[in-house]
């Protein structure tokens, strides 16, 4: 294809995203501007054999994480067996005592995980970077990217056999329906969104529409007598399942942050009483804590009796004295992260930071070691991407976020996931809030 | 249906309608001006500001009432909540909060419309004059109606859209007739020598010019024009037609049959429809057109408030 033709199709894709309003909101300029999530037309291709290994590794990980959450809010065997220290777990900012002893529907905590993988460009191996078991976002971009690609390059899809992923919403809906405390037939399912000003609002409305469920905000719901209702034009209507995209801390102003207007007062009471199901479960944040992350391989061995298929990044947990000493000595070689943050915030990139910043981090880490971990810098792999300025292909750093659905028995992972790409040359930052873009990810049918 | 969604649908439709009505009025008045003498220039623009209900704001922003200022004010000003671009932005904002509940085609249409309107450069349009701009707005809102009709189920949600645009249209038409008539009375020494151009403009602004001629086969007479805009049962922009639409929509929502009502809004709509069905234009002029239309406007206001109370605001009975 000639560069002009390619450029033309690229513009077609951009226009398609704009008209459909597939945008995210950036708050840095104070006005909450809507921006297009930059889309790179060159797909990333992962061989089927490699994908099958990733699939097995993720399945194993999701099962172990779910068992860990069940255990930690239940019998706490892993603490008694001293595989992880009690104080490390209890000191997680997102460990919620309110969840101890709560029997969640069908024992599922991690209905949806968006596990971030990176490929080490030295070893070529995929490593797990983050688990994202709270309210991971991005699946709508995966689905829409594919839709746009099939519209713009229909001929390529005819030639290559790319595994489809459009069954995601139906599978998610099936899982949500199965959680209903009143049986599945007339289950009322809603998606709870913080509203139009949330950066992932597009995704919330997209998923609600795809699943044919009601998109609600906190103000649309009310709890009366331990039952959750929606406010409709013809009166109150009972809700059975809430796919919530509101963080734990904002869910219920009676239990968590009293200043939250995004949630529903009394919701936790209804949840604990088993009158309404929430997905994902409350309290999952403990498994997202970056210090806990270091123990997930141990969870896999402990709960499943298996060796981890996917490796994790070596992690120094500053809460441990030996690790802390090492981190303080080698700060300029490491990536230092705050345990509770995500999205590239609260992070130090040792090798590129100036001396002053490193000193600042050293002080912070010494003052509150529990709040930090450190990892070696992973040289991210690069894949061919289109560079609009030179109109040529160039290597750009990428990561991969597959989406895993868990129904209590089996884990379903749509083939591929969100490939985020750092569109600036040499940049390692792929976060959409910081200039990253995305690509369609292809897993081809058959060998290869 | 969620109360919040019903409310967004209602306002989405109202804002689209308001944008269209404003564009129509602006366009027609501007065209008419081209055929007018210079001395009546200012008088032509005053009523538009009154009609938009933003006289005070206009005076604060501008020192002079002229074509350019009025055009800018009604079409582009972001600080005028009733300007066309603001109406479309608000319509789109409402659509955005309920995009999972409207058809994909509807959303893409409104969103595309919004992006098109935001790309207009006020400077260029002011030079080109309002016609091109207003035409695009009218085309855009017509497309919205077409897309909506063709792609969304005619369910409860659609009824809220219908009530929204019909109520807005009924209000705008009654304001239009009222203000134009007032203006003519002020301007002309004798009521017996009506300004045909002005009334032609009124007819054109609601797209009823051709229909008028087909119906009356006569020259433009103010009484007949007013009669057509108020009482005609078939013209989609007449007050009677629009109010009947409001009534039908409200009945479909509450499931009320003929001859009864489920709430105050339905009662008022029924009352207005009855009056408009049996009043004759001569009687209306006898009572005084202004006071008649003023009463109607008040009823429309009350209907809007009652719809909100019944369907949008939730008072939890403990």
Q: Are A299 and A318 part of one and the same domain?
A: no
**Chain A environment of B100 (Cβ under 8 Å):** 204-206, 208-209, 215
Q: Are B146 and B165 part of one and the same domain?
A: no
Q: What is the largest CA-CA distance in chain B?
A: 66
Nearest partner of B1 among B311, B316, B318, B315, judged by Cα: B311
Q: Are B148 and B175 part of one and the same domain?
A: no
Is B36 within a domain?
yes
Q: Are A262 and A355 part of one and the same domain?
A: no
Domains in chain B: how many in total? Answer: 2
Interchain proximity B2–A208, CB inside 8 Å: no
Q: Which band of pLDDT confidence, cut at 50, 70 and 90, is reported for residue A432? A: low
The SS3 assignment for A266 reads coil
pLDDT average per 10 residues of sequence, chain B (318 residues): 94 96 84 63 72 86 87 91 94 90 91 91 84 92 96 94 97 86 61 63 83 82 88 94 97 91 95 95 91 94 95 66
**Chain A environment of B253 (Cβ under 8 Å):** 233
pTM of the model: 0.81
Q: What confidence tens digit (pLDDT) does each residue in A30-58 have?
A: 555 667 778 888 999 999 999 999 999 99
Distance, in angstroms, between A307 CA and closest chain B CA? Answer: 43
Is B35 within a domain?
yes
**Chain A environment of B89 (Cβ under 8 Å):** none
For position B195, what pLDDT does the model report? 61
Q: Looking at A9-18, A142-151, A268-277, which range is the least confident one?
A: A9-18
Q: Are B204 and B267 part of one and the same domain?
A: yes
**Chain A environment of B310 (Cβ under 8 Å):** 233
Write down which residue in A345, A376, A407 finishes a domain: A376
Q: What confidence tens digit (pLDDT) does each residue in B157-172 have?
A: 999 999 999 999 999 9
Q: Are A363 and A399 part of one and the same domain?
A: no
- What percent of chain B is modeled with pLDDT above 70? 91
The answer to whether the beta carbons of residues A71 and A292 sit under 8 Å apart is no
Is A448 within a domain?
no
Write down which residue in B152, B167, B198 finishes a domain: B152
Is B309 within a domain?
yes
CA B205 to CA B25: how far, in whole Å? 5
pLDDT for A249 beyond 70: yes
Write down which residue in A376, A399, A427 finishes a domain: A376
Q: Are A65 and A146 part of one and the same domain?
A: yes
Q: Are B165 and B130 part of one and the same domain?
A: no
Distance, in angstroms, between B1 CA and closest chain A CA? Answer: 5
CA B234 to CA B247: how far, in whole Å? 15
Sign of CA dihedral B33, B38, B44, B49: positive
Q: Tally A–B CB contacts below 8 A.
A: 59
How does strand A382-387 pair with strand A392-401? antiparallel
Cβ–Cβ contact A206 with B under 8 A? yes
For position B317, what pLDDT does the model report? 45
Is A403 within a domain?
yes
Q: Are B127 and B167 part of one and the same domain?
A: no
Q: Are B70 and B126 part of one and the same domain?
A: yes
CATH code: domain of residue A327: 3.30.1490.270
A376 phi and psi angles, rounded to 5 deg: -65, 155
For position B318, what pLDDT does the model report? 38
**Chain B environment of A233 (Cβ under 8 Å):** 1-3, 6, 156, 253, 310-312
Q: Are A64 and A141 part of one and the same domain?
A: yes
Q: Are A230 and A305 part of one and the same domain?
A: yes
Cβ–Cβ contact B317 with A under 8 A? no
The answer to whether the beta carbons of residues A230 and A220 sit under 8 Å apart is yes
The SS3 assignment for B182 reads helix
Q: What is the mean pLDDT of residues A370-398?
A: 88
Write down which residue in B152, B184, B216 finishes a domain: B152
Q: Are B184 and B103 part of one and the same domain?
A: no
- What percent of chain A is modeled with pLDDT above 90? 64
Nearest partner of A194 among A174, A220, A170, judged by Cα: A220
Interchain proximity A233–B107, CB inside 8 Å: no
Reported ipTM exceeds the 0.85 cut: no
Q: Are A406 and A372 part of one and the same domain?
A: no
Interchain proximity A215–B111, CB inside 8 Å: no
For position B40, what pLDDT does the model report? 56
Nearest partner of B12 among B99, B119, B71, B105, judged by Cα: B99
Q: Which long-range contacts (CB under 8 A, 24 or more apart) does B203-211 make?
A: B203/B228, B203/B229, B204/B28, B204/B31, B205/B24, B205/B25, B205/B27, B205/B28, B205/B29, B205/B176, B206/B24, B206/B173, B206/B176, B206/B235, B206/B237, B207/B24, B207/B237, B208/B235, B208/B237, B208/B238, B211/B235
Nearest partner of A262 among A208, A320, A210, A220, judged by Cα: A220
Cβ–Cβ contact A208 with B under 8 A? yes
- Residue B162 structure tokens: 């219908």
Q: What is the mean pLDDT of residues A398-407?
A: 96
Environment class of A322 (CB within 10 Å of its CB; exposed 0-12, middle 13-18, buried 19+) = exposed
Domains in chain A: how many in total? Answer: 2
CB-closest option in A20, A204, A233 to B3:
A233
For position B43, what pLDDT does the model report? 59
Domain coverage including residue B19: 1-152
- Residue B55 structure tokens: 């006289």
Q: Are A286 and A364 part of one and the same domain?
A: no
Cβ–Cβ contact A352 with B under 8 A? no
Is A395 within a domain?
yes
Q: Are B87 and B148 part of one and the same domain?
A: yes
Write down which residue in A376, A398, A423 finishes a domain: A376
Q: Are B174 and B103 part of one and the same domain?
A: no
Cβ–Cβ contact B197 with A under 8 A? no
Contact residues, B window 43-102, toward A, CB-based 8 Å cutoff: 93, 96-101
Q: Which band of pLDDT confidence, cut at 50, 70 and 90, is reported for residue A434? A: low
Q: Length of chain A in residues, anyone?
A: 448
Is B318 within a domain?
no
Domain coverage including residue A334: 314-376
Q: What confidence tens digit (pLDDT) does each residue in B216-248 have?
A: 877 888 888 889 999 999 999 999 999 999 999
Q: What confidence tens digit (pLDDT) does each residue in A164-215 have?
A: 999 999 999 999 999 999 988 889 999 999 988 888 888 998 999 899 999 9
Q: Are B230 and B287 part of one and the same domain?
A: yes
Q: What's the mean per-residue pLDDT of chain A? A: 89
Q: Are A419 and A432 part of one and the same domain?
A: yes
Residue with tokens 């008419």: B32
Q: Are B73 and B203 part of one and the same domain?
A: no
Q: What is the mean pLDDT of residues A17-34?
A: 63
Q: Are A218 and A274 part of one and the same domain?
A: yes
Q: Looking at A368-372, A378-382, B4-8, which range is the least confident one?
A: A378-382
Q: Are A356 and A437 part of one and the same domain?
A: no
Q: Which residue of A has its CA nearest to B112?
A: A19
For position B101, what pLDDT does the model report? 85
Q: What confidence tens digit (pLDDT) does each residue in A98-107 have?
A: 999 999 999 9
Is A127 within a domain?
yes
pLDDT for A84 beyond 50: yes
User: Could you tell me how far CA B108 lies from the centroid of its own chain?
Assistant: 24
Q: Are A368 and A387 part of one and the same domain?
A: no
The answer to whether the beta carbons of residues B269 and B263 sit under 8 Å apart is no
Interchain proximity B4–A220, CB inside 8 Å: yes
Q: Are B191 and B305 part of one and the same domain?
A: yes
Write down which residue in B123, B152, B181 finishes a domain: B152
């Amino acid at each position: 294809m000639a560069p002009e033709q390619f450029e033309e199709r690229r513009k077609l894709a951009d226009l398609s995203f704009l008209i459909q309003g597939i945008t995210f909101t950036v708050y840095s300029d104070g006005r909450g501007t809507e921006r297009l999530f930059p889309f790179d037309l060159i797909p990333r291709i992962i061989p089927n054999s490699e994908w099958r290994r990733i699939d097995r590794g993720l399945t194993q990980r999701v099962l172990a994480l779910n068992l860990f959450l069940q255990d930690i809010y239940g019998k706490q065997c892993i603490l008694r067996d001293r595989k992880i220290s009690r104080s490390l777990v209890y000191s997680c900012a997102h460990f919620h005592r309110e969840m101890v002893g709560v029997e969640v529907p069908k024992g599922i905590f991690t209905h949806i995980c968006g596990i971030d993988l990176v490929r080490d460009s030295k070893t070529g191996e995929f490593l797990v970077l983050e688990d994202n078991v709270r309210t991971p976002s991005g699946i709508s971009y995966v689905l829409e990217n594919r839709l746009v690609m099939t519209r713009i390059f229909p001929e390529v899809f005819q030639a290559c056999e790319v595994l489809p992923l459009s069954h995601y919403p139906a599978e998610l809906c099936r899982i949500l329906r199965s959680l209903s405390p009143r049986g599945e037939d007339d289950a009322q399912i809603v998606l709870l969104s913080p509203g139009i000003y949330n950066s992932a609002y597009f995704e919330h409305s997209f998923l609600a529409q795809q699943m044919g469920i009601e998109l609600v905000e906190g103000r649309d719901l009310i709890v009366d007598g331990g039952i959750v209702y929606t406010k409709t034009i013809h009166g109150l209507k009972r809700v059975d399942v809430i796919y919530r995209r509101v963080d734990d801390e904002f869910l219920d102003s009676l239990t968590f942050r009293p200043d939250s207007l995004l949630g529903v007062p009394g919701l936790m009471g209804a949840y604990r009483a088993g009158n309404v199901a929430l997905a994902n479960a409350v309290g999952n944040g403990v498994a997202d804590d970056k210090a806990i992350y270091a123990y997930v391989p141990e969870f896999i061995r402990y709960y499943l009796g298996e060796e981890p298929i996917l490796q994790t990044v070596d992690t120094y947990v500053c809460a441990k004295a030996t690790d802390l000493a090492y981190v303080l000595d080698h700060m300029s070689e490491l990536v230092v992260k705050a345990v509770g943050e995500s999205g590239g915030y609260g992070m130090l990139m040792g090798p590129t930071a100036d001396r002053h910043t490193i000193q600042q981090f050293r002080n912070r880490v010494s003052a509150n070691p529990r709040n930090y971990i450190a990892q070696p810098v992973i040289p991210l792999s690069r894949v061919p991407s289109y560079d609009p300025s030179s109109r040529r292909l160039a290597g750009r750093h990428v990561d991969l976020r597959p989406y895993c659905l868990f129904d209590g028995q089996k884990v379903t992972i749509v083939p591929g996931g969100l490939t985020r790409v750092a569109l600036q040359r040499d940049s390692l930052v792929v976060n959409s809030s910081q200039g990253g873009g995305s690509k369609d990810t292809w897993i081809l049918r058959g060998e290869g | 249906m969620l109360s919040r969604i019903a409310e967004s649908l209602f306002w989405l439709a109202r804002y689209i309608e308001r944008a269209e009505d404003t564009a129509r009025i602006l366009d027609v008045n501007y065209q008419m001006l081209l055929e007018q003498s210079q001395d009546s220039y200012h008088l032509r623009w005053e009523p538009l500001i009154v009609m938009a209900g933003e006289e005070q704001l206009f005076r604060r922003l501008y020192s002079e009432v002229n074509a350019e200022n009025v055009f800018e004010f009604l079409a582009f000003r972001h600080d005028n909540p009733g300007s066309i671009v603001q109406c479309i932005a608000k319509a789109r904002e409402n659509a955005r909060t309920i995009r999972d509940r409207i058809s994909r085609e509807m959303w893409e249409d409104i969103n595309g419309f919004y992006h098109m309107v935001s790309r207009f450069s006020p400077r260029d349009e002011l030079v080109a004059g309002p016609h091109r701009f207003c035409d695009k707005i009218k085309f855009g809102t017509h497309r919205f109606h077409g897309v909506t009709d063709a792609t969304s189920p005619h369910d409860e949600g659609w009824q809220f859209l219908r009530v929204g645009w019909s109520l807005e249209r009924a209000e705008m038409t009654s304001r239009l007739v009222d203000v134009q008539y007032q203006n003519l009375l002020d301007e002309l020494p004798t009521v017996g020598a009506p300004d045909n151009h002005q009334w032609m403009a009124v007819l054109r602004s609601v797209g009823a010019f051709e229909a008028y001629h087909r119906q009356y086969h006569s020259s433009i007479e103010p009484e007949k024009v007013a009669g057509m805009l108020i009482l005609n049962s078939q013209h989609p922009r007449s007050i009677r037609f629009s109010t009947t639409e409001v009534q039908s929509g409200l009945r479909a929502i509450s499931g009320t049959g003929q001859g009864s009502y489920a709430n105050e809004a339905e009662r008022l709509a029924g009352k207005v429809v009855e009056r408009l069905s049996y009043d004759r234009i001569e009687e209306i002029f006898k009572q005084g057109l202004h006071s008649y239309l003023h009463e109607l406007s008040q009823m429309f206001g009350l209907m809007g408030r009652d719809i909100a109370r019944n369907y949008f605001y939730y008072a939890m009975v403990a």
